[in-house]
Structure 1
Amino acid sequence: MHEDLRAGVRDSVPILLGIAPFALVAGIAAVDAGLTPAQAVGMSVFVYAGASQLAALELLGENAPLAVVVATAVVINLRMVMYSASIAPHFARYRRRTRALLAYFLTDQAYALSIAEYADDESRERDRRYYYLGVGTPIWVVWVVGTVLGIALGAGIPDSWGLSFAVPLVFLALLVPAMKDRPTTVAGGVGGAAAVVAAGLPFNLGLLVGAAVGILAGLLTEGVRNR
């Protein structure tokens, strides 16, 4: 195994402990929403977006209009546009086919670990492509395998186990380190509060409202700070 690929795999191991229960929950949620095993696995392979998948599955289970399902998934995944813009300069020297492959493995965790490693590149000259794949590939494998296990287990897991609580724990683990300054803290707090207040809206639109309000609050706070 390439040295930098191995380094990425090593750094991803702690993250996998949080991905595994998240993937298990996604598989169970897919079965509960009425998807066939093939559809559920296909969703994890082709969509490959945990938060968006769970939100879409919840809406599908409630027979929400397809437009609402797609809009919710798109809004949740808009952050990937920012991740792409941030990490793209590090891959500019690679061919387009290579960049397309790397884009498929873009997740919150792969982005955070890779950007942190590239920032420290002065002391360690990494092949950024191999390191990124070393981080992203194990995450993908655990996600797909975990989804398959969740599908196999289905509703057989008792509700008393509280396995679904793994989802907010994963999101909290991602959210708290990201709240490093006032704009991001305000965005997270206001967005979360707005989502709770709007939780009663039909078709899970409270999530969209919370996201929009949080983004607006963060932008306004950033504007005030700059002035």
Structure 2
Amino acid sequence: MNNPIPLSSRTDFLAGAQAITPIALGVIPFGLIAGVAMVNAGIPPHHAIAMTIVSFTGAAQLAAIDLINRTAPIAVVILTAVIINLRFTMYSASLAPYFQQFDSTMKWIGAYLLTDEAYAVSITKFRGTEWNRQSQKWFYFGAAISFWATWQISAAAGVLLGSSIPAGFSLEFAVPLTFIALLFPALDDRPTEFAALVSGSASVLTAILPLNLGLVTAALIGVAVGVSYEFRRGMFPVTTHVSTTEADVSEGCDAA
């Protein structure tokens, strides 16, 4: 029987899965917290698992659960989730040059699977590396699908275990540790370091803003500072080079 995925693509897929494994393991407690929170909010288990699959966004999901638990209007719940997830527009814009040759189906699936962790692992790998389209695609999906599976399983475990998980475990410690692990590998040049410093400081100063707007505000400030830094030194805009293999060309001709 022929394998549906070529050997080279499987290698790229497994490379992505391997790259994100340490981070995925660190997010398991976060998933357990989300599952327990949904049960404590009175959400039926099958609804809670469906919510995790459909939304697939930890921070916004926890915020939504908290609002649901406080009987907030559904419009407030949705608006809060949308605002928290605005950062993904920046992530997708950053990844767009690498995936501009994806077909619509792959783009929609990739957008659904996009997370902080999958973005950080992928963009760190892609920078300075001339990969062909297929290698980039399978590396990204290897990382993103592996993280998706880990989150779904850990959240479902939290739903099923519910209040049987002792409160003294303090699982919330894993959340900041996960994002710290994502941050430092991405600090690979002076503009990025400067942007991180400014946005981190801004996030503290804007933490008082309602609806978690401080997160988005700080991120936008960091982006503006980073771009300004690069622009003043003639480093912006940057042209992204993606190599094209014969397989890519032939695939494009077949698609046409």
Give the 5 Å matches for 1:173-192. 173-174=181-182, 180-192=192-204
Matched with 2:152 is: 144
2:173 and 2:84 mapped to 1: Cα distance? 19
2:179 and 2:125 mapped to 1: Cα distance? 22
Match of 2:127 among 113, 119, 131: 119
TM-score by length of 1: 0.83
Contact 2:31 2:158 in 1 (8 A): yes
Give the 5 Å matches for 1:74-223. 74-122=82-130, 127-174=135-182, 180-195=192-207, 198=208, 205=210, 207-208=212-213, 210-211=214-215, 214-215=218-219, 218=222
Contact 1:178 1:184 in 2 (8 A): no
2:78 and 2:218 mapped to 1: Cα distance? 20
Secondary structure of the equivalent of 1:121? coil
Contact 2:124 2:186 in 1 (8 A): no
CA RMSD of aligned residues (A): 2.6
Deviation for aligned residue 1:219: 6.9
Matched with 2:47 is: 39
Quickly say closer, same or farther: Cα 1:155–1:118, change in 2 above 3 A: same
Quickly say closer, same or farther: Cα 1:224–1:53, change in 2 above 3 A: same
Moved more, 21-30 or 85-94: 85-94
TM-score by length of 2: 0.75
Quickly say closer, same or farther: Cα 1:171–1:182, change in 2 above 3 A: same
Matched with 2:11 is: 3
2:98 and 2:185 mapped to 1: Cα distance? 23
Contact 2:83 2:211 in 1 (8 A): no
Contact 1:25 1:167 in 2 (8 A): no
Corresponding pairs, count: 218
Deviation for aligned residue 1:78: 0.7
Deviation for aligned residue 1:121: 2.3
Quickly say closer, same or farther: Cα 1:182–1:118, change in 2 above 3 A: closer
Moved more, 101-110 or 64-73: 64-73
Quickly say closer, same or farther: Cα 1:22–1:206, change in 2 above 3 A: same
Deviation for aligned residue 1:148: 0.7
Deviation for aligned residue 1:149: 0.4
Deviation for aligned residue 1:66: 2.0
* Structure 1: gaps (5+ residues): 200-204
Deviation for aligned residue 1:40: 1.0
1:198-220 alpha-carbon deviations (Å, 9 max, x no partner): 38xxxxx3633x33653575477
Secondary structure of the equivalent of 1:127? helix
The letter for the 2-side match of 1:185 is: L
1:178-223 alpha-carbon deviations (Å, 9 max, x no partner): 674334323222322432xx38xxxxx3633x33653575477569
The letter for the 2-side match of 1:11 is: A
Is the counterpart of residue 16 in structure 1 residue 24 in structure 2? yes
Match of 2:71 among 57, 63, 76: 63
Moved more, 148-157 or 178-187: 178-187
Deviation for aligned residue 1:59: 1.5
- Aligned sequence identity (%): 39
Deviation for aligned residue 1:17: 1.5
Quickly say closer, same or farther: Cα 1:62–1:194, change in 2 above 3 A: same
